[in-house]
Amino acid sequence: MDPNSNSYELHLDDTALEYFQKMCSEIVQIVDDSIDESNVSLKLAALSTLDILAQRFSSNHSVFGMCLASVMKGISSDNMAVSSSCLKTTGTLVNVLGPKALAELPCMMENVIRKSRGISVSSNLESRSDESTSILLSILITLEAVVEKLGGFLNPYLGDIIELMVLHPAYVSASDLKLKTRADLVRKLLTDKIPVRLTFQPLLKIYLGAVKSGDSSVVIAFQMLADLVSKMDRTSVSGFYGKIFDQCMVALDLRRQHPVTVQTIDAVEKSVINAIVSLTMKLTENMFKPLFAKSIEWAETEFQDVAGSGTMNIDRAISFYSLVNKLVENHRSLFVPYFKYLVKSCVQLLSDSADKASDLVRKKKKAKVQEDGNIINGGVSLKSWHVRALILSSLHKCFLHDTGRQKFLDSSNFQVLLKPIVSQLVIEPPTSVEEEIDVPSLKEVDDLLVVCIGQMAVTAGTDLLWKPLNHEVLMQTRSEKMRARVLGLRIVREFLEKLKEEYLVLLPETIPFLGELLEDVELPVKSLAQDILKEMETMSGENLREYL
């Protein structure tokens, strides 16, 4: 025994090795004995012994090389316990032999894939037995060893392996944490150990099958794609980025297509967007710019509505601005200049024209709920509410990172965006917004409005632009809606906190509005107005009540 070895590996002299080989041959004979299936426990003991011997005497490759072929044959055994044990021992032997197991790879993969398909057909998530679970786990153990030690030689089998790891219900479901964790490890190894040029095509080909299998399969397919992209070198990126982007845009259209197999579109969309963002982190500006132009064209493609006229699809708008949110979040100031291509779209979707298609449907169908899930009574549609929130979030991040020499928020863009953004204060929320878990809540949107308009003032950086912005906000405080009045006051307080003493030049216009709000019949409005007046007095050092 090597005292310096952490694994306590045992070393044999020539005489001991001869006896060791003879012993292993006799063990293999027991495993190989396919005539008598009655003594299963003996076979299982033999396989377990061989597994332990391989771990303890791993340097004796020649001995275990002759064992592998016999053990592999047992994978196709009808007895699930024997098959499972053979799979585990095969994994151990492959780990020990490494490239020396290459000669047995075709037969090994044929048996593993056949067995995995047999289990897939004969079991489901609800009725799966302990034996089925054991064999599914054993398949993963074998695949882990094969990918780790023989990954460069798996090209002929990658399609089958990826299909198994992405589409098999047991490997994508979180119902069995042990299986899912082990499957995640194998999937990670596939993207880490196997060259991109080999993994790329099978992973893209799996898309249609993943959509048919459901949410979890699609999410996992794009998680693997994101992992693969993160490992790409410059040459691989140049060769594959166009195809990857096109595939992602196809998947980003799932919200509009709403196939019956996809139930949690937000989770699916998030995984697709993460893959796109991982790709864009690897691209040069010359690569990225035409792709982004293509995505804008995709988002603005017109579809026939119920009245027969072409309108921008609201589902695509949601997907697109979810993507924009992540792009500006990750690329920050580098992405800000691209907002110049989005101004028109932002204005259109933030204005009442975004709901024209819904209005046409309302006239055509006098019902409470449209077929696409848009709420008719009480406020804008849920989808319009969702896309407005995404645009506000995107613009807030844009203003936050607009620090370059050529600012996006110049006087021209400021004037164009001013009214559409501030008009959101008086937009009537959908009546069911609090019941929808995948749609931003009223509080989330209100908070977004406050920080977005507050950051807009900071980024503008001049009282020439602050004055019209402050005026627009103050005008909303005269709305009949309490929400608009409260939001207007919250934004004024945000101006105070962000601009500090620089806001004092705007007090002459603000104080008369504040005076009206101090007499408001609604206590929350009145109380907030009083708090803001105190903050203004503290900042200015004057008693402002005499000007009311």
Indicate the residue type of 292: F
Q: Are residues 16 and 112 in the same domain?
A: yes
Q: Are residues 5 and 76 in the same domain?
A: yes
Q: Are residues 415 and 340 in the same domain?
A: yes
Residue 23, judged by CB atoms within 10 A of its CB (0-12, 13-18, 19+), counts as middle
Domain that holds residue 108: 1-143
Indicate the residue type of 387: V
**Cβ atoms of residues 478 and 438 within 8 Å:** no
Calculate the average pLDDT of the chain: 89
pLDDT tens, position by position, 27-54: 888 888 754 566 888 999 999 999 999 8
pLDDT (mean) for 310-316 = 82
Q: Are residues 23 and 88 in the same domain?
A: yes
Which of 461, 476, 494 is a domain's end point?
461
pLDDT tens, position by position, 97-154: 999 999 999 999 999 999 998 886 555 544 557 888 999 999 999 999 999 999 999 9
Residue 248 pLDDT greater than 60, yes or no: yes
pLDDT at 543: 83
Q: Are residues 413 and 496 in the same domain?
A: no
pLDDT (mean) for 251-278 = 97
Q: What is the DSSP letter of 312?
A: E
In a domain? residue 120: yes
pLDDT tens, position by position, 70-98: 999 999 988 999 999 999 999 999 999 99
In a domain? residue 363: yes
In a domain? residue 270: no
What separation in angstroms does the CA of 180 have from each of 70, 171, 470? 30, 5, 54
Q: Are residues 497 and 424 in the same domain?
A: no
In a domain? residue 81: yes
In a domain? residue 503: yes
456: number of Cβ within 10 Å: 26
pLDDT at 220: 98
CA count, 13 A, side-chain hemisphere, 391: 25
Q: Assign residue 37 the CATH number of its domain.
A: 1.25.40
Q: What are phi and psi of 407, to 5 degrees?
A: -70, 140
pLDDT (mean) for 174-180 = 89
**Cβ atoms of residues 377 and 370 within 8 Å:** no
In a domain? residue 250: no
Q: Are residues 487 and 537 in the same domain?
A: yes
Q: Are residues 382 and 427 in the same domain?
A: yes
Q: Are residues 516 and 438 in the same domain?
A: no
Tokens standing for 207? Answer: 């898309």
Q: Are residues 363 and 454 in the same domain?
A: yes
Tokens 């398909």 correspond to what residue? 117
**Cβ atoms of residues 382 and 439 within 8 Å:** yes
Q: Which secondary-structure segment (H or E) carries 302?
A: strand 302-304
What's the pTM?
0.89
Segments of 183-247 assigned E as strands: none
Tokens 């090597």 correspond to what residue? 2
Which of 76, 108, 143 is a domain's end point?
143
In a domain? residue 435: yes
**Cβ atoms of residues 158 and 103 within 8 Å:** no
Q: Using 50, 70 and 90 to split pLDDT, how confident is the model at 360?
A: very low
In a domain? residue 204: no
CA count, 13 A, side-chain hemisphere, 156: 8
Residue 119, judged by CB atoms within 10 A of its CB (0-12, 13-18, 19+), counts as buried
Which of 430, 461, 492 is a domain's end point?
461
Q: What are phi and psi of 312, to 5 degrees?
A: -60, 135
Structural domains of the chain, count: 3
Residue 171 pLDDT greater than 70, yes or no: yes
Euclidean distance between CA atoms 272 and 280, whole angstroms: 13
Q: Is 471 left (phi over 0), alpha (psi -120 to 50) or beta?
A: alpha
**Cβ atoms of residues 477 and 487 within 8 Å:** no
Q: Are residues 434 and 466 in the same domain?
A: no
Residue 406, judged by CB atoms within 10 A of its CB (0-12, 13-18, 19+), counts as exposed
pLDDT tens, position by position, 406-465: 899 999 999 999 999 999 999 999 999 999 999 999 999 999 999 999 999 999 999 999
Q: Are residues 291 and 440 in the same domain?
A: yes
